Amino acid sequence: MNYKQVIDTLYETTKIVPDDLRALLTSMDAEDEAYLYEKARDVRERIYGKDVYLRGLIEFSNYCKNNCYYCGIRADNHKADRYRLSHEDIVHCANQGYALGFRTVVLQSGEDLSYTDEDICDLVRAIKRQHPDVAITLSIGEKEKESYQKYFNAGAERYLLRQETSNPKHYGMLHPKELSIAHRKQCLSDLKEIGYQVGGGIMVGTPGQKVEHVMEDLYYMQDFGFHMIGIGPFIPHQDTPFRDEKAGTLLDTLHLIAIIRLMNPHVLLPATTALGTIDPRGREMGILAGANVVMPNLSPRGVRKKYMLYDGKICTGDEAAECHRCMERRMESIGYHVVVDRGDYKN
């Protein structure tokens, strides 16, 4: 297999046939790997230059009705110390973020039914009223289409909902039977139809994940036409059924970031906190493999350790301002710059 040739074709056409994709996902030497990152960076810089977009993450509740086997805030984890932020707390976090230069906030929580649609709409409207130039992203799970429509009408423009894995069998290995990939994909289509910029994504190295599953995900994501694709390594959490499973690797994640960039040149692609957790310079390496977004934490310091999706999560002891400055420094250290910008998808 001539990997450089396959990478060149992918670079020029964004297309790759299954046999080539399987080969690309199976093995590669260090020289080809470096070539893959170089091409991914090239595509990214052609469209987004050296800009890195910031998303300020506000984790407003860790209550969740679901029981995903991988997740530290699953309902059956009775050791999780649960919290909910009030409307005022959340707006305060958004204001702080605005002052620091964030022009996107991501409101994320477990699937917490105690917030009504009206509560979510009130939140979105309150933040929008004070900061019309801020893009609001929601990441609050599976809802009815009518609910998604209400949030959109209130001013939310983006929605993150990773498919986690597109393969029904594999989905069933990661989730209890109440959850299905069919419903997840329905939600994603509903969001797209309403007009959201939609984000999907997967975890890398989840138990039972095979090359075939990753291929299915890569083609699904390209076909769907996501605006954002969030990927990070799976990391076990000690109080979940997956406590003894192996974590995904840095290399596999970087490799996939680069392939995703080449298959989806314009996509908004974060170097995630999970990537920063498995390696101290994971996020920098993610950017150098083709990512163009980072998502520093804006949650109040007092609750950060409680939003533990996986063990060892970084940035749980810092103030928003520290995280922001730290991220600026990290990006400058590799020749990139965080910008004060909504960071919309460029067509």
Helix segments in 135-180, DSSP class H: 145-154, 168-174
Alpha carbons 90 and 107: distance in angstroms, whole number? 9
Stretch that binds ligand 5AD, among 79-87, 188-196, 207-215, 229-237 (CB under 6 A): 229-237
Write down the least CB distance from residue 344 to ligand 5AD, Å.
22
Task: Select 10 or 269, whichever has its Cβ closest to ligand 5AD.
Answer: 269
> Which of ligand 5AD, ligand FES, none sits in contact with 41, Cβ below 5 to 8 A by type?
none
* Closest-approach residue to ligand 5AD (CB): 310
Alpha carbons 1 and 9: distance in angstroms, whole number? 13
- Residue written as token pair 């409680």: 306
Applying CB under 6 A, does 323 fall inside the site for ligand 5AD?
Answer: no
Helix segments in 281-333, DSSP class H: 282-288, 301-304, 320-332
Alpha carbons 311 and 56: distance in angstroms, whole number? 21
- Residue written as token pair 């530290």: 72
- 110, 155, 232, 282: residue in contact with ligand 5AD (rule CB under 6 A): 232
Applying CB under 6 A, does 71 fall inside the site for ligand 5AD?
Answer: yes
Output the six-digit token pair for 306.
């409680």
Task: Select 36 or 200, whichever has its Cβ closest to ligand 5AD.
Answer: 200
Q: Which letter does DSSP use for residue 165 in this model?
A: -
Alpha carbons 56 and 198: distance in angstroms, whole number? 17
Task: Select 164 or 328, whichever has its Cβ closest to ligand 5AD.
Answer: 164
- 39, 55, 155, 164: residue in contact with ligand 5AD (rule CB under 6 A): 164
Q: With contact defined as beta carbons under 8 Å apart, do 307 and 273 qualify? A: no
Applying CB under 6 A, does 162 fall inside the site for ligand 5AD?
Answer: yes
- 135, 308, 309, 315: residue in contact with ligand 5AD (rule CB under 6 A): 309
Site for ligand FES in 285-304 (CB under 6 A): 296
Q: With contact defined as beta carbons under 8 Å apart, do 224 and 200 qualify? A: yes
Chain positions contacting ligand 5AD, by CB under 6 A: 70-71, 162, 164, 203, 232, 234-235, 237, 274, 309-310
Report the interface residues with ligand FES, using CB under 6 A.
296, 315, 318, 322-323, 326-327
